[in-house]
């Protein structure tokens, strides 16, 4: 890397450095056997984007080819990553800026969750330390960043200037990454300013895979003492060892009264919706024509706002996962997959042509089963104790879960289901290849 090459901190160059600090990847053998480690470049950037928009909808399987291209373009600083990602969305960027400056604790919790899932923390290879050193050196080399530029990298959410950042030696990983990511995403220059930097770091290989070859951080000239963010517990004495439950919450730690009230309200709004989705086979049954509107209205009018967020990290994550999963389901409630059943006034799967049959079998059925399974698991998180506070839950948690499993079994096994569509013709569905077996030329 030549000294006269421009060094620029932007979203793409930040992401490139993040990729070097990921947890160890699975080997070729594991991938060949069908296992995944959840650390691919698209999965990493989607998780990083959720620090900006925590309830961002998961992409559909049909979108992944496009998204992989968008991820590459963002990493190489060609553009802002396409319409799926929020990096070019002014409203999303403004909301993220406001959250970092006024609701720092929730923003830090989201970055901490990303770090827990993707960054190799405390390992013998010191990937986390090298990441911090590389980012500090990049900030130093980027002469487009003025000395007075503020970075929200302090543990308490306060900002320090570039000049002050360059002299500190004690850095806390999660607040530091949040502050640098905040700057990189919000800078007005855009992502394309980093293209020359990326080209220098990852030289073109004549069409082959471009590998990171830079040594950023090696020439920083100072020692950094790295620490890590932990959630303080005011009821714990110094030196006391904490035992955590399966959710990562301190055992015996109580949820605040505000969160308790908010959780009750969330259950009241979403329990019946989740139960309906778990128990409805969208590829074989009539579907409530208002379901998509109910999901969209509840999200847009109420639960997407930060005023409806939980202070408790586990509850906040649970809420965001439920909202994102329901939002994903709405894509399969569209007229691409469903149509009006005139006799009932409800919706029914499209299966009136070979193309629609393929779509039913290859897209609607497997994806809605996957979403229903995920909603079932989230439902069991929402009601972890079936013996407690379930008077308003009908059917009970165990019944909902068992019904979902039975429906899945029915869908996966060969079956024939006769249904009258439009009131005048019987449609036989099940394994589409059996139904159309003697009809396809």
Q: What pLDDT digit, counting tens, does each position of 167-180 carry?
A: 999 999 999 999 99
Does the residue 240 lie in any domain?
A: no
Same domain, 283 and 347: yes
Same structural domain, 377 and 276: yes
**Model pLDDT, residue 189:** 87
Amino acid 231: pLDDT: 54
Host H or E run for residue 30: helix 28-32
308 is a domain residue? yes
Q: What is the largest CA-CA distance in the chain?
A: 80
Instruction: Give domain status of residue 32, yes or no.
Output: no
Q: Is residue 373 part of a domain?
A: yes
pLDDT band at 247; cut points 50, 70, 90: very low
Q: Quick one: pLDDT at residue 301?
A: 82
Query: What's the pLDDT at 165?
Result: 95
Do 63 and 158 fall into the same domain?
yes
Same domain as 394, residue 304: yes
CA angle 104, 312, 37 (to 5 degrees): 90
- Kindly state whether residue 158 falls inside one of the protein's structural domains: yes
Q: Looking at per-residue confidence, does 312 or 133 come out higher? A: 133
Which pairs from 312-318 meet CB under 8 Å and 24+ separation?
A: 312/249, 312/255, 312/256, 312/259, 313/109, 313/112, 313/113, 313/231, 313/248, 313/249, 314/247, 314/248, 314/249, 315/255, 315/259, 315/262, 315/263, 316/54, 316/106, 316/109, 317/113, 318/378, 318/381, 318/382
Mean pLDDT score across all residues of the chain: 81
- Local confidence band at 133 (pLDDT 50, 70, 90 cut-offs): very high
Q: Are 180 and 135 in contact (CB under 8 A)?
A: yes
Residues 369 and 303 occupy one common structural domain: yes
Q: Which residues contact 395 (CB under 8 A, 6 or more apart)?
A: 275, 403
The verdict on 321 and 192 lying in the same domain is no
Query: 24 or 373, which is more confident?
Result: 373
Neighbouring C-alpha atoms within 13 Å toward the C-beta of 246: 2
**Which of residues 398 and 260 earns the better pLDDT score?**
260
Q: For 391-397, what is the mean pLDDT?
A: 41
- Per the structure, the count of domains in the chain is 2
pLDDT of residue 171: 95
Q: What average pLDDT does the segment 216-229 reach?
A: 88
Closest CA to 187 of 170, 163, 167, 162: 162
Query: Looking at the structure, do residues 50 and 99 belong to the same domain, yes or no?
Result: yes
The CA distances from residue 216 to 10, 59, 141, 213, in Å, are: 15, 33, 10, 9
Residues 179 and 263 in one domain: no
Same structural domain, 177 and 64: yes
Residue 248 lies in a domain: no
Judgement on whether residues 265 and 354 belong to the same structural domain of the protein: yes
396 occurs within a structural domain: yes
Torsion angle of alpha carbons 116, 119, 124, 128, nearest 10°? -110
Statement to judge: residues 52 and 96 lie in one domain: yes
User: Is the pTM value of this prediction over 0.85?
Assistant: no
When pLDDT is cut at 50, 70 and 90, the band that residue 36 belongs to is low
- Per the model's pLDDT, the better-predicted residue between 146 and 320 turns out to be 146
Number of H helices and E strands in the chain, helices first, is 17, 8
Q: What is the pLDDT of residues 200-215, one digit of tens each?
A: 999 988 878 899 999 9
Residue 440, in any domain of the structure: no
Higher-confidence residue: 310 or 441? 310
> Are 169 and 276 within one domain?
no
State which of 247-256, 263-272, 421-430, 432-441 shows the largest mean pLDDT: 263-272
Answer with the one of 179, 208, 227 that is the final residue of a domain. 227
pLDDT for 27 equals 57
Boundary (domain end) residue, out of 180, 211, 227: 227
Q: So what's the pLDDT on residue 337?
A: 94
Which residues form the domain of 304? 258-435
Which has the higher per-residue pLDDT, 388 or 105?
105
């Amino acid at each position: 890397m030549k000294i006269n090459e421009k060094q620029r901190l932007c979203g793409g160059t930040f992401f490139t450095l993040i990729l070097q600090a990921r947890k160890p990847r699975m080997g070729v053998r594991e991938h060949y056997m069908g296992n995944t480690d959840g650390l691919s470049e698209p999965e990493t950037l989607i998780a990083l984007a959720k620090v900006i928009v925590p309830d961002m909808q998961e992409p559909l399987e049909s979108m992944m080819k496009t998204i992989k291209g968008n991820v590459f373009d963002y990493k190489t600083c060609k553009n802002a990553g396409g319409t799926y990602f929020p990096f070019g969305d002014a409203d999303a960027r403004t909301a993220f800026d406001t959250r970092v400056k006024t609701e720092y604790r929730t923003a830090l919790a989201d970055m901490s969750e990303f770090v827990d899932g993707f960054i190799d923390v405390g390992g013998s290879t010191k990937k986390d330390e090298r990441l911090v050193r590389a980012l500090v050196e990049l900030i130093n080399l980027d002469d487009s960043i003025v000395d007075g530029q503020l970075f929200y990298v302090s543990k308490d959410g306060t900002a320090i200037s570039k000049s002050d950042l360059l002299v500190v030696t004690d850095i806390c990983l999660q607040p530091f990454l949040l502050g640098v990511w905040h700057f990189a995403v919000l800078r007005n220059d855009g992502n394309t300013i980093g293209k020359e930097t990326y080209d220098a770091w990852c030289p073109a290989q004549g069409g082959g895979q471009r590998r990171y070859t830079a040594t950023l951080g090696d020439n920083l000239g100072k020692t950094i003492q790295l620490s890590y963010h932990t959630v303080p517990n005011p009821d714990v004495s110094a030196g006391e060892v904490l035992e955590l439950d399966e959710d990562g919450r301190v055992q015996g730690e109580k949820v605040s009264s505000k969160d308790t009230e908010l959780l009750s309200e969330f259950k009241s709004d979403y329990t019946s919706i989740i139960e309906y989705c778990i128990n409805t086979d969208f590829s074989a049954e009539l579907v409530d024509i208002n379901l998509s509107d109910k999901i969209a209205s509840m999200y847009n009018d109420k639960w997407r706002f930060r005023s409806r967020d939980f202070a408790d990290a586990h509850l906040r994550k649970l809420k965001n996962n439920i909202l994102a999963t329901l939002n994903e389901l709405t894509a399969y409630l569209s007229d691409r997959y469903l149509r009006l059943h005139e006799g009932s006034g409800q919706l029914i799967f499209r299966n009136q042509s070979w193309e629609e049959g393929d779509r039913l079998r290859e897209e609607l059925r497997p994806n809605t089963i996957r979403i229903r399974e995920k909603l079932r698991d989230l439902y069991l998180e929402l009601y972890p104790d079936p013996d407690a506070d379930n008077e308003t839950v009908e059917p009970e948690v165990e019944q909902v879960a068992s019904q979902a499993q039975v429906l899945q079994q029915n869908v996966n096994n060969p079956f024939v289901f006769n249904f009258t569509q439009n009131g005048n013709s019987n449609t036989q569905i099940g394994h589409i290849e059996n139904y159309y077996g003697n009809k396809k030329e």
